[in-house]
Structure 1
Amino acid sequence: MRPFYFQARKEIFKIHTRDWTPKPLDMFLEELAEKCVGYCGADIKSLCAEAALCALRRRYPQIYKSSEKLQLDVASIRITAKDFAMAMQKTVPASQRAVASPGRALSSVSKPLLENTLARILQALQRVFPHAEFALQKDQQPDSVNHVLRNDTVDSDEESPSIFEEKPTHKMPSREKEKFLSFSRNAYYQPTSCRPRFLLVGEPGYGQASHLAPAVIHALEKFPVYALDLPVLFVTATSPEETCAQLMREAQRTAPSIIYIPHIHLWWEAVGATLKATFTTLLHNIPAFAPVLLLATSDVCHADLPTEIKELFMDDYEEVFQIQLPNEEERRMFFEDLIINQAAKPPASKNSADSWVHRMTRGRHSQVEEQQVMCVDKAVEMLTQPVIVDYYELKQLLRYVTAVTKKYDIFRMERLYAVLCRCIYQHREDYDKTALVKEMKKEIAAFSYAQC
């Protein structure tokens, strides 16, 4: 499911790259739009410009080392995905310049491992907080969705009583007590939820706070998020109670919104009695049908949580989502690209591409400047060696790592992934991958033994 503002960001990318030759692929723009959460139109424009500058610096590094005027061959400059990746590292979106957003999409590495779990979480969340459905729908125009997510029904199509004097008619008993400025919520026009709460529960290392909750917030980026984690409450100049009250009042004012508390079991142990009373009082004072979602994570099962927290999240009402370990297929997909593709990759080519520039030389004032074409880098011809890869052994290795990680949590699988990445990096210059396969198998066995 794509975030709400995904389509809008994609269209802005199209606008700022429409004059590029060749034009970026639509699939690439979709991936950019998905990753650029919190980027406004000016941020996207700046990102595209920075990517072009990165491509220029990569193609003509000598322009930053020479004081001479150079005429560049613009047609030879090719903007790549790596240029955009580098530009994103240098660009801080406006939404993150003051406070970093807790929302974060699943990384390309962890996505095969957790995307199915995330989909199930979002499906369950829609039953508790139906407003989420509209934030997750594709191809929605902002105006139409904002209409649905309004907190009132003033702009609905229901007939409103006339506020003007009319000719005397026979009296209607119900008309005498009718209120003009009272508008009730209408289930036909708007989603309705009653005190929506959602708790992600799992064993330590299952990724509920580090991966899944940020991914949920990323998917619901339409809604403002107010994090009540310990750093926010205790690092600010105001008291924790005042900060908590300000954030919760703001969450109610900007509803639909999300109040987010990661590691709520630790949060409850760390805060004092006054802050607990402030939080619970303000939470219960939010109107029952106000679309303010309380989202939290816990490393402690629901039954073992303090009574006050258990009463906030009712297991009988699908407000508690129990996270499970990845299944066999998810574990296989997690390691497949690393073992089957990256481990078999040949060494990087050492050939240097020819780079040409037109150097402008200054002549006499009365003469036209002459152009000279010079070769900056000389091509080095290298003999291509065959890569020796036993794909049967790689497939056996994939089956082996899939089997031994059956009871591994997310953190341990990520650590093992990093160990195998290190092996591949150390053997990146090898044309014969036999030693790499043996070392990877040895590392998997050693890691599995250490975890026992």
Structure 2
Amino acid sequence: MMSQKNFSCIGGLEKHIKIVKEMVLFPLMYGCVYSKFHLRPPKGLLFYGPPGTGKTLVASALAVECNNSDRKVSFISRKGSDCLSKYVGESEQQLQKVFTLAQQSKPCIIFFDEVDGLAPARTSRQDFVHASIVSTLLALMDGLDSNSEIIVIGATNRLDAIDPALRRPGRFDRELYFPLPCYTARKDILSVQVKNWKQKPAVKFIAYLASKTVGYCGSDLQALCAEAVMSCVRRHYPQIYTCKTKHQINERALKVEKQDFIKAQESIVPASHRLSVVPIKCLSPKMYPLLQDTLYTILTVLQEICPPEMMASENSDTEIRSSTMKCPRLLLHGDDDCHTRHLAPALLHNLEHLPCHVLDVTALFEETGRAAEETIIQKVKTARHTLPSLLYVPDILAWWDLVGEAARVVFTSLMKGLDRSVHMLFLSTIHCSADIIPVEILELFDVHQNEMIEISPPKPVERLAYFQQIFTKVHGKSDNISTRSSYVNFIQVLGPTRFKTEPKRLKEQEVEIIAAPVTRRRAEGKTRMKLSAVQTTSSGHTANTRNSLKRVHSTSGERISSKRHRPSGDSRLTSIESLTEAQVQDLLDRAVNYTDGWTCHQLETLYASLERVLGNSHGDPFISVADCLERFRQNQRSRNNDN
């Protein structure tokens, strides 16, 4: 049957499939190995994780693999609600029948989906019926002999809702976490979804689509492909919605293209975003010249303080090289709030293979009637269940003074109790200078271990590259910007691995992205702009870098055009083209000099105003831009005088 899927039809879960084979199939098929070394085969395995990450899919594929093996293995699947009944004692009888059937048809695998509904945690407020069912399940699992050839598998989305008595060796011997897929896993899932299409999307486009679907689970990606197909059908045959009779569709004419996936992505809300939106996003191409050096510095520090298995998407057997006795932690502080709005989300994008748990004001006060300290304990406990993981606390001062003394003591105690054996990265941001940070927070970070990084205002070279983007469409610079934009997206998908292997070469490429247009214009003798901090590389290295940028741009699935593309009717482009080289240089010099010490938020406001002035300019654009710069300069001076 086409609906039956084996392990080869599952993408992005190779590690999980390997563990399932070792713990479930191998003891049933190679029991002689366990008996020779007097090993007790496992009795149970618990799947847990967010909805749609493949828990039930792996169990269904396991059932198919059991039938395809040389030694037939029976598979019994039950929902948690299937064994429940309104009559007293009948639920316990249903459970006993399941285990009796497994004894008669062993070797056998029993799969309980949504096991939290069958065996919830027993409390004093719970009714007697559920407590009796949990006790019966515990007794039945304890009654299994060491060589009974029966393995119980449970799946749940709510790990803490399961009775703790089930979560010990001898019952559920191991808990297997199913996280949201990382970039590599999403690419594998998309490849599996489209492998049976007659006209498959290009491999480069699959990589581009995987980079644009951060936070999508496996079910979301499957729905995305299905919606893209329907978008393709609507595009080719719109008449089927108005035709009353069946319309003949030519399947060979249907080809799912990039625009279909883009439309499908607009209509799909990922399951992880329906409950809470994790602030994960790559550094925008507009902000990249302004924050590229800072982002590189932070990633370099993370390479030093984090174990290697945390920075890679796949765990390695390398020993921990970190000398600190605490779990890796990092605090981004400074008067410029770009660390919370841009840098921290970009870091989360680079570390998307780690399960991210956000502790902010919304999470603390989301549930009415729940104490803040209870939420803090729950967040840290959940993060420790999914190691290696990441605990993100954005703008910690936003809630530090809102909660009571008990909540602050609980938070600091939990953080101080984490040693380096706990592979959990504690990332936090704080919008103030170092001398204003509360002492309790300062004690959590060690400045000598590079665990505190101050975010300073952008430097003149960075501001020059930032404002230069406004005038880049003059003299055919649009191609370079699109290439850099695509390069930025690709570099942030594979950030940790690339930084770990080639930090120096990557640094040169980043600097050359900003230097390339300036170098070209300097060679042509058309500008007097100087970047004192940027050094040009040799011609051979430049050629290699351009080739690498071409490959990177192709990875995003977008076409590289060698011709200048000027959209018709663009008033901003027309205004810019009317400026001379000397006027452009003068405006850039003013923008850099006027914005000395400005924060990223102030620079973004000025940037948006300059774009609006150029778009709405009906007179001399030079005068309009110069007046806008002078107004911002006067406003900033008056604010400084008031302070």
TM-score for both structures, normalised by structure 1: 0.68
Cα distance change of structure 1 residues 388 and 329 upon mapping to structure 2, 3 Å threshold? closer
Superposition pairs of residues 104-119 of structure 1, within 5 angstroms: 104-119=281-296
Superposition pairs of residues 303-452 of structure 1, within 5 angstroms: 303-341=435-473, 346=566, 348=568, 389-390=578-579, 392=581, 393-394=583-584, 396-426=586-616, 435-452=620-637
Q: Could you say what secondary structure the match of 2:331 adopts?
A: strand
Moved more, 234-243 or 387-396: 387-396
Amino acid at match of 1:293: L
Cα distance change of structure 1 residues 117 and 224 upon mapping to structure 2, 3 Å threshold? same
- Aligned partner of 1:253 among 380, 385, 390: 385
Report what 1:297 is aligned to. Answer: 429
Aligned partners of 2:406 and 2:384: how far apart in 1?
21
Q: Which has the higher contact order (CA 8 A, sep 6+)?
A: 1
Amino acid at match of 2:625: M
Q: Deviations over 1:360-391 (max 9, x none)?
A: xxxxxxxxxxxxxxxxxxxxxxxxx9x96445
Superposition pairs of residues 229-268 of structure 1, within 5 angstroms: 229-237=360-368, 238-268=370-400
Report what 1:358 is aligned to. Answer: none
Number of aligned residue pairs: give it: 361
Q: CA deviation at 1:22?
A: 8.1
Report what 1:167 is aligned to. Answer: none
Superposition pairs of residues 9-158 of structure 1, within 5 angstroms: 9-16=186-193, 19=197, 23-24=201-202, 26=204, 28-51=205-228, 53-54=230-231, 84-130=261-307, 133-137=308-312, 145-146=314-315, 148=317
Moved more, 339-348 or 39-48: 339-348
Aligned partners of 2:319 and 2:596: how far apart in 1?
47
Report what 1:282 is aligned to. Answer: 414
Q: Deviations over 1:164-223 (max 9, x none)?
A: xxxxxxxxxxxxxxxxxxxxxxxx544555222211011143x11111112212211122
Aligned partners of 1:338 and 1:20: how far apart in 2?
44
Aligned partners of 1:50 and 1:332: how far apart in 2?
43
Aligned partners of 1:63 and 1:443: how far apart in 2?
54
Q: Which has the higher helix share?
A: 2
Cα distance change of structure 1 residues 228 and 264 upon mapping to structure 2, 3 Å threshold? same
Asked whether the 8 Å contact 1:268–1:276 carries over to 2, the reply is yes
Amino acid at match of 2:360: D
Q: CA deviation at 1:276?
A: 1.2
- Aligned partner of 2:358 among 213, 227, 240: 227
Aligned partners of 1:321 and 1:236: how far apart in 2?
33
Q: CA deviation at 1:128?
A: 2.0
Q: Could you say what secondary structure the match of 1:106 adopts?
A: coil
Q: Deviations over 1:339-380 (max 9, x none)?
A: 222899755379xxxxxxxxxxxxxxxxxxxxxxxxxxxxxx
Cα distance change of structure 1 residues 53 and 232 upon mapping to structure 2, 3 Å threshold? same
Q: CA deviation at 1:109?
A: 2.3
Cα distance change of structure 1 residues 119 and 425 upon mapping to structure 2, 3 Å threshold? same
Asked whether the 8 Å contact 1:4–1:135 carries over to 2, the reply is no
Aligned partners of 1:445 and 1:127: how far apart in 2?
44
Q: CA deviation at 1:49?
A: 4.2
Aligned partners of 2:610 and 2:203: how far apart in 1?
32
Q: CA deviation at 1:101?
A: 1.4
Aligned partners of 1:436 and 1:21: how far apart in 2?
50
Report what 1:354 is aligned to. Answer: none
Asked whether the 8 Å contact 1:106–1:215 carries over to 2, the reply is yes
Aligned partners of 2:591 and 2:187: how far apart in 1?
38
Asked whether the 8 Å contact 2:335–2:432 carries over to 1, the reply is yes
Cα distance change of structure 1 residues 53 and 211 upon mapping to structure 2, 3 Å threshold? same
Amino acid at match of 1:419: S
Cα distance change of structure 1 residues 388 and 411 upon mapping to structure 2, 3 Å threshold? closer
Q: CA deviation at 1:321?
A: 0.6
Amino acid at match of 1:215: A
Asked whether the 8 Å contact 1:47–1:87 carries over to 2, the reply is yes
Q: Percent identity?
A: 31
Q: CA deviation at 1:409?
A: 1.0
Report what 1:209 is aligned to. Answer: 340
Q: CA deviation at 1:11?
A: 3.7
Cα distance change of structure 1 residues 83 and 116 upon mapping to structure 2, 3 Å threshold? farther
Moved more, 294-303 or 58-67: 58-67
Cα distance change of structure 1 residues 17 and 311 upon mapping to structure 2, 3 Å threshold? same
Asked whether the 8 Å contact 2:357–2:391 carries over to 1, the reply is yes
Cα distance change of structure 1 residues 25 and 255 upon mapping to structure 2, 3 Å threshold? closer
Aligned partners of 1:394 and 1:25: how far apart in 2?
41
Asked whether the 8 Å contact 1:4–1:136 carries over to 2, the reply is no
Cα distance change of structure 1 residues 10 and 74 upon mapping to structure 2, 3 Å threshold? same
Asked whether the 8 Å contact 1:258–1:292 carries over to 2, the reply is yes
Amino acid at match of 1:236: E
- Provide the alpha-carbon RMSD of the alignment: 3.7
Aligned partners of 2:265 and 2:605: how far apart in 1?
26
Asked whether the 8 Å contact 1:389–1:434 carries over to 2, the reply is no
Aligned partners of 1:65 and 1:419: how far apart in 2?
47
Aligned partners of 2:240 and 2:360: how far apart in 1?
48
- Structure 1 unaligned residues grouped into runs of 5+: 149-187, 351-384, 428-432
TM-score for both structures, normalised by structure 2: 0.49
Amino acid at match of 2:631: A
Amino acid at match of 2:611: C
Aligned partners of 1:407 and 1:316: how far apart in 2?
27
Amino acid at match of 2:473: N
Q: CA deviation at 1:124?
A: 0.8
Cα distance change of structure 1 residues 333 and 271 upon mapping to structure 2, 3 Å threshold? same
Cα distance change of structure 1 residues 399 and 85 upon mapping to structure 2, 3 Å threshold? farther
Q: Could you say what secondary structure the match of 1:312 adopts?
A: coil
